[in-house]
A and B are shown apart, each in its own frame.
Chain A
Amino acid sequence: SQTIHQWPATLVQPVGSPLSLECTVEGTSNPNLYWYRQAAGRGLQLLFYSVGIGQISSEVPQNLSASRPQDRQFILSSKKLLLSDSGFYLCAWSGGIYEQYFGPGTRLTVT
Chain B
Amino acid sequence: AQSVTQLGSHVSVSEGALVLLRCNYSSSVPPYLFWYVQYPNQGLQLLLKYTTGATLVKGINGFEAEFKKSETSFHLTKPSAHMSDAAEYFCAVSPTSGSARQLTFGSGTQLTVLP
Contacts and interface: CB of A to CB of B under 8 A. Distances in A.
Interface of A: 6, 32, 34, 42-44, 46, 49, 51, 57, 59, 88, 90, 92, 94, 96-105, 107
Interface of B: 32, 34, 36, 41-46, 49, 51, 90, 94, 99-103, 105-108
Given A49-B102, A96-B99, 18 more contacts: A6-B43, A32-B99, A42-B107, A43-B90, A43-B107, A43-B108, A46-B103, A90-B43, A94-B101, A96-B100, A96-B101, A98-B32, A99-B49, A100-B103, A101-B46, A104-B42, A105-B42, A105-B43
Say whether chain B's binding surface is mostly helix, strand, loop, or mixed.
Answer: loop
Contact of B44 (A42, A49, A59, A90): A90
27 contacts: A6-B43, A42-B107, A43-B106, A43-B107, A44-B90, A44-B105, A46-B103, A49-B100, A51-B99, A59-B102, A88-B41, A90-B43, A92-B44, A94-B101, A96-B101, A97-B101, A98-B32, A98-B49, A98-B51, A98-B94, A101-B46, A102-B36, A102-B45, A104-B42, A104-B43, A105-B42, A107-B41
